[in-house]
A and B are shown apart, each in its own frame.
Chain A
Amino acid sequence: MNTSLFLIIVLVSGAFAGLIHGVTNLAIVEPYLDQAIGMENQNMFASGEVDDTLEFWVEYEGYRTWQKSGQVLAGVILGVSIGSLFGIVFAMSRSSLPGRNNVKKALILAGIMWVTLYFIPFLKYPANPPTVGDAESVVLRAILYSSFIAISGIAAVGFYKVSKKFQNKKKILGLIGYVAFISLVFVIMPENPDKVTAPLNLVEGFRATSVLAVSSFWIAIAITLGILWNHFKPEREIATSN
Chain B
Amino acid sequence: MSESRQITVSKKGVPIIAIIALAVIFATGLFVVGFDQGHIFSLVYGEQAFTDLYIHELTHDMRHAAGFPCH
Interface residues of A, Cβ cutoff 8 Å to B: 1, 3, 6-7, 10-11, 21-22, 25, 29-30, 33, 63, 66-68, 70-71, 73-75, 77-78, 80-82, 84-85, 87-88, 91-92, 118, 121-122, 125-130, 133, 135, 138, 141-142, 145-146, 206, 209-210, 213-214, 235-239, 241
Q: Are A70 and B23 within 8 A (Cβ)?
A: no
Interface residues of B, Cβ cutoff 8 Å to A: 5-10, 12-15, 17-19, 21-23, 25-30, 32-35, 37, 57-71
In the complex, residue of chain B having the shortest beta-carbon distance to the beta carbon of A118: B67
Q: Are A238 and B67 within 8 A (Cβ)?
A: no
Q: Are B10 and A145 within 8 A (Cβ)?
A: no
Q: Are A87 and B30 within 8 A (Cβ)?
A: no
- One of A1, A66, A78, A84 near B22 (C-beta < 8 A): A84
A74 to B68, CA, bound (A): 13
A87 to B25, CA, bound (A): 11
A63 to B10, CA, bound (A): 51
Q: Are B10 and A127 within 8 A (Cβ)?
A: no
Q: Chain A's nearest CB lies how many Å from the CB of B24?
A: 8
Q: Chain A's nearest CB lies how many Å from the CB of B40?
A: 11
Interface residues of chain B: helix, strand, loop or mixed (majority): helix
- One of B12, B18, B61 near A33 (C-beta < 8 A): B61
Total inter-chain residue pairs, C-beta < 8 Å: 166
Q: Are B68 and A81 within 8 A (Cβ)?
A: no
Residues of B with C-beta under 8 A to A85: 22-23, 26
Residues of B with C-beta under 8 A to A122: 67
In the complex, residue of chain A having the shortest beta-carbon distance to the beta carbon of B27: A81
Residues of B with C-beta under 8 A to A133: 69-71
- One of A11, A82, A91, A127 near B64 (C-beta < 8 A): A127
Q: Chain B's nearest CB lies how many Å from the CB of A30?
A: 7
A239 to B7, CA, bound (A): 6
Q: Are B12 and A239 within 8 A (Cβ)?
A: no
Q: Are B58 and A1 within 8 A (Cβ)?
A: no
Residues of A with C-beta under 8 A to B63: 74
Residues of A with C-beta under 8 A to B17: 3
Q: Chain A's nearest CB lies how many Å from the CB of B38?
A: 13
Give the top 3 A-B pairs by smallest Cβ distance, nearest first: A81-B29, A70-B58, A141-B69
Residues of B with C-beta under 8 A to A68: 61
Q: Chain A's nearest CB lies how many Å from the CB of B71?
A: 5
Q: Are A236 and B10 within 8 A (Cβ)?
A: yes
Residues of A with C-beta under 8 A to B68: 127, 142, 145
Residues of B with C-beta under 8 A to A206: 64
Residues of A with C-beta under 8 A to B33: 74, 77-78, 81
